[in-house]
């Protein structure tokens, strides 16, 4: 049983000394300093060394090499993880192929559903453990891993367990057949959730898989492997191989792979597309984004400001659909910017395990360097930067929430994906102008709009070149709802009935 430590100390309110935002009522900005409320880590069991999960067993890598995974909030090592090479990838793919031919493709869909459902239940039972490990390995606030990542991941498994024996209803009048072995490669921003998005629909449609997690966040995928073992899923149906980008490339190039499902950056997505050109391999690519968040003068301003804050600072901006470009209708620009600055002053940046924390640690040193590079570039390009006067922890990788004013369409901070808590702001006058500005980008993953008028929402949703458009809300996900991009944000959809499409042929 896990123990919960209850602090007896009460929340204390103190006024911050310095004036916070010039020209605004600082009395209202007095922040509440909360007593730290860290989630306990007593119940977490991590091994010092993790192996590859191949054919239902944990096996040593043939390279005999291991790499460290660290906690980006403390820079301390959490565990060492096996580094797969070409030989290991070959073994994993062959075990998936064997499981596909001998067991999984022959199994009745109702039986397959039971295994998927069992994995969902086991994951739900260990939700707290998964949430804490996700936060320690990746740096995201515990509030997010606990309330968003893990419940959503469980829901994905439940949702696709439901479809496994109902494919005839998903594709009426057609007989859906599985593809074979899927090679799946995922990034570090939603590690367990991305694993669920990939594995659950693949299994529901009768495929077997080899999954490669990102090198900075392999731990929850390895914990998932433990659950898979416990569920009694036939050996080889799911294989999880940790390693660097070269292991991902080996997976892409393996001749026995029938489908590649990739979520990650646009440059790697492009290299995968080149590598599989001329083969029979199918692909879905979920790539980068630079979402436009649009606020009209008839919007409920306070709610919109909260939505904008959530849209860009949620998960440190490590979100492919982060609302990283903000377009404000000119007549309300000054009030929106003032309120945004006020709200940024009250955001809590720090220990991701603390339940009060809004902005946790940046995932890696490299990512922190990338964000620093873009913020310096923004200033060099002539934009005006604003950051709240919060203090960052002395160890670990942290970055203050940042916004840029006076940007132009040609600024690189307005065009390129930063993948950090950095918001670039522009104003607009007419709906035509904002559509043109929002679409003037190589990406097309998501967008958000805040207005009182339904007609404006419908007008925009038909004209914005983005896979998802949220109206009067942001960053909402559900397993029944499809997700995917336009243009350089990739192709194919994950989630919902559309997500099944990616794993069947007719
Ligand atoms: P990344 O560098 O492209 O890495 C993604 C995955 O691919 C990692 O597992 C990585 O391994 C692996 N990889 C690297 N080089 C490879 C190669 N040549 N061949 C095959 N696999 C390779 O992306 P990231 O930095 O982890 O993630 C951030 C990006 O993901 C952002 O651009 C974000 O927008 C995008 N993203 C998109 C979505 C979506 O749904 N559209 C969702 C989440 C994230 P290593 O970790 O070992 O490098
Ligand atoms: Mg890590």
Structure tokens at 225: 């492997």
Q: Which of 188, 109, 206, 118 is nearest to 154 (CA)?
A: 118
486 exposure class (CB count in 10 Å sphere: 0-12, 13-18, 19+): middle
- For ligand 1, is residue 499 a contact (CB within 6 Å)? no
Which of 154, 320, 321, 390 does the annotation list as catalytic? Answer: 320
The beta-strand segments (E) located in 88-223 are 177-178, 181-185, 208-212
Residue 406 is classified by DSSP as S
Residue 308 shares a structural domain with residue 281: no
What is the residue with the minimal CA distance to atom 16 of ligand 1? 245
Q: Which of 405, 466, 467 is nearest to 439 (CA)?
A: 466
> Which residues form the domain of 313?
292-471
Please say whether the beta carbons of 359 and 141 come within 8 A.
yes
Find the 464 Cα to ligand 2 centroid distance in Å: 36
415: number of Cβ within 10 Å: 16
Residue 215 shares a structural domain with residue 320: no
In a domain, 484, yes or no: no
Ligand sitting nearest the alpha carbon of 285? 1
Residue 17 shares a structural domain with residue 135: no
In a domain, 170, yes or no: yes
Question: Is 230 annotated as catalytic?
Answer: no
What is the residue with the minimal CA distance to atom 23 of ligand 1? 264
Residues lining ligand 2 (ion), CB within 5 A?
Answer: 69, 137, 216
Rg (CA), the chain: 23
Mutate to test the pocket of ligand 1, among 189, 268, 369, 486 (most ligand atoms within 8 A of CB): 268
Residue 282 shares a structural domain with residue 302: no
In a domain, 166, yes or no: yes
Please give the Cα distance from 50 to 116 (Å, whole number): 24
Please state the φ and ψ torsions of residue 282, each to the nearest 5 degrees.
-90, 160
List residues bridging with 21 in a β-sheet.
none
In a domain, 483, yes or no: no
Please give the Cα distance from 385 to 404 (Å, whole number): 5
Classify each residue of 362-375 as buried b or exposed e, where b means 16 or more C-beta atoms within 10 Å of its C-beta.
Answer: bbbeebbebbeebb
- For ligand 1, is residue 189 a contact (CB within 6 Å)? yes
3-state DSSP call for residue 223? helix
Find the 245 Cα to ligand 1 centroid distance in Å: 9
- For ligand 1, is residue 419 a contact (CB within 6 Å)? yes
Please give the Cα distance from 93 to 86 (Å, whole number): 10
> What pLDDT shows up at residue 34?
80
What is the residue with the minimal CA distance to atom 30 of ligand 1? 264
- For ligand 1, is residue 252 a contact (CB within 6 Å)? yes
Please give the Cα distance from 488 to 444 (Å, whole number): 7
Residue 176 shares a structural domain with residue 101: yes
In a domain, 40, yes or no: no
Query: Which residues 6+ apart lie within 8 Å of 287 measured at CB?
Result: 263, 264, 265, 266, 269, 320, 443, 445, 485, 488, 489, 490
Q: What is the length of the chain?
A: 506
What is the residue with the minimal CA distance to atom 46 of ligand 1? 214
Please say whether the beta carbons of 73 and 363 come within 8 A.
no
- For ligand 1, is residue 268 a contact (CB within 6 Å)? yes
Helix (H) or strand (E) holding 128: helix 127-138
Residue 123 shares a structural domain with residue 225: yes
Domain count, the chain: 3
Residue 377 shares a structural domain with residue 455: yes
> What pLDDT shows up at residue 32?
60
* Gap between the terminal Cα atoms of the chain: 48
Please give the Cα distance from 224 to 228 (Å, whole number): 6
Find the 300 Cα to ligand 1 centroid distance in Å: 36
CATH code for position 150: 3.40.605.10
Q: Please, what's the largest Cα pairwise distance for the chain? A: 71
- For ligand 1, is residue 257 a contact (CB within 6 Å)? no
In a domain, 78, yes or no: yes
Residue 172 shares a structural domain with residue 203: yes
Structure tokens at 314: 């949620």
Query: Which residues 6+ apart lie within 8 Å of 123 measured at CB?
Result: 130, 150, 153, 154, 157, 224, 227
List residues bridging with 52 in a β-sheet.
59
Residue 104 shares a structural domain with residue 18: no
Question: Is 320 annotated as catalytic?
Answer: yes
495: number of Cβ within 10 Å: 21
Ligand sitting nearest the alpha carbon of 477? 1
- For ligand 1, is residue 417 a contact (CB within 6 Å)? yes
Please say whether the beta carbons of 420 and 374 come within 8 A.
yes
Question: Along the chain (506 residues), what's the average pLDDT of each consecutive run of 10 residues?
Answer: 38 42 47 82 95 98 97 98 98 98 98 98 98 98 98 98 97 97 98 98 98 98 98 98 98 98 97 97 97 98 98 95 97 98 96 97 98 98 96 96 97 97 98 98 97 96 96 96 96 96 97
In a domain, 447, yes or no: yes
Please give the Cα distance from 224 to 122 (Å, whole number): 9
Sign of the CA dihedral running 232, 238, 241, 242:
negative
Helix (H) or strand (E) holding 422: strand 422-428
CATH code for position 359: 3.40.309.10
Query: Which residues 6+ apart lie within 8 Å of 211 measured at CB?
Result: 184, 185, 186, 195, 198, 199, 221, 238, 239, 240, 241
Find the 335 Cα to ligand 2 centroid distance in Å: 40
Please say whether the beta carbons of 128 and 142 come within 8 A.
no
Classify each residue of 89-101 as buried b or exposed e, where b means 16 or more C-beta atoms within 10 Å of its C-beta.
Answer: bbbbbbbbbbbbe
- For ligand 1, is residue 244 a contact (CB within 6 Å)? yes
Ligand sitting nearest the alpha carbon of 273? 1
Note if the pTM is more than 0.85: yes
Residue 378 shares a structural domain with residue 332: yes
Please state the φ and ψ torsions of residue 463, each to the nearest 5 degrees.
-105, -20
Residue 114 shares a structural domain with residue 127: yes
In a domain, 30, yes or no: yes
Residue 141 shares a structural domain with residue 9: no
Which of 286, 417, 488, 494 does the annotation list as catalytic? Answer: 286
> What pLDDT shows up at residue 31?
52
What is the residue with the minimal CA distance to atom 40 of ligand 1? 286
- Calculate the alpha carbon distances from 28 to 19, 301, 343, 345, 400 in Å: 11, 17, 11, 11, 21
- For ligand 1, is residue 212 a contact (CB within 6 Å)? yes
């Amino acid at each position: 049983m896990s123990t919960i430590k209850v602090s007896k100390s009460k929340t204390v309110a103190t006024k911050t000394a310095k004036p916070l935002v010039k020209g605004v009522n600082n009395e209202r900005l007095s922040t509440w300093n909360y007593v730290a409320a860290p989630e306990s880590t007593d119940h977490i069991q991590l091994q010092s060394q993790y192996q590859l999960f191949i054919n239902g067993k944990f096996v040593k890598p043939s390279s005999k090499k291991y790499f460290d995974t660290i906690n980006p909030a403390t820079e301390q090592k959490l565990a060492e993880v096996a580094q797969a090479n070409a030989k290991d990838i070959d073994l994993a793919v062959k075990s998936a192929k064997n499981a596909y031919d001998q067991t999984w493709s022959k199994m009745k869909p109702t039986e397959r559903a039971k295994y998927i459902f069992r994995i969902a239940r086991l994951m739900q039972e260990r939700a707290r453990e998964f949430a804490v490990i996700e936060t320690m390995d990746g740096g995201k606030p515990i509030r997010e891993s606990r309330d968003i990542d893990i419940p959503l991941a469980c829901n994905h498994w439940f949702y696709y367990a439901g479809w496994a024996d109902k494919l005839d209803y998903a594709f009426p009048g057609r007989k859906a057949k599985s593809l074979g072995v899927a090679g799946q490669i995922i990034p570090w921003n939603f590690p367990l959730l991305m694993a669920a998005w990939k594995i659950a629909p693949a299994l529901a449609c009768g495929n077997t898989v080899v999954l490669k997690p990102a090198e900075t966040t392999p731990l929850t995928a390895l914990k998932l492997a433990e659950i898979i073992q416990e569920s009694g899923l036939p050996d080889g149906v799911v294989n999880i191989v940790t390693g660097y980008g070269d292991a991902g490339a080996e997976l892409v190039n393996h001749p026995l792979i029938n489908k590649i499902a990739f979520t990650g950056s646009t440059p790697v997505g492009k290299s995968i597309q080149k590598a599989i050109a001329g083969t029979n391999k199918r692909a879905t690519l979920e790539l980068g984004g630079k979402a436009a968040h649009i606020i009209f003068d008839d919007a409920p301003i306070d709610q919109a400001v909260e939505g904008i804050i959530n849209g860009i600072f949620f998960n440190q901006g490590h979100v492919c659909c982060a609302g990283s470009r903000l377009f404000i209708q000119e007549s309300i620009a000054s009030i929106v910017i003032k309120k945004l600055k006020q709200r940024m002053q009250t955001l809590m940046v720090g220990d991701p395990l603390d339940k009060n924390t809004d902005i946790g640690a940046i995932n890696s040193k490299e990512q922190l360097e990338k964000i620093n590079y873009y913020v310096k570039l923004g200033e060099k390009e002539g934009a005006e930067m604003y950051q709240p006067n919060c203090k960052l922890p002395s160890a670990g990788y942290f970055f203050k929430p940042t916004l840029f004013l006076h940007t132009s369409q040609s600024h690189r901070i307005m065009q390129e994906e930063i993948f950090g808590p950095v918001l670039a702001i522009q104003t607009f006058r007419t709906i035509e102008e904002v559509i043109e500005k929002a679409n003037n980008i190589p990406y097309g993953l998501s967008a958000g709009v805040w207005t009182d008028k339904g007609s404006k929402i419908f007008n925009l949703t038909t004209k914005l070149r983005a896979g998802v458009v949220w109206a009067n809300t942001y960053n909402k996900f559900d397993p029944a709802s499809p997700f995917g991009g336009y243009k350089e944000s990739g192709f194919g959809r994950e989630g919902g009935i559309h997500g099944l499409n990616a794993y069947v042929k007719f």
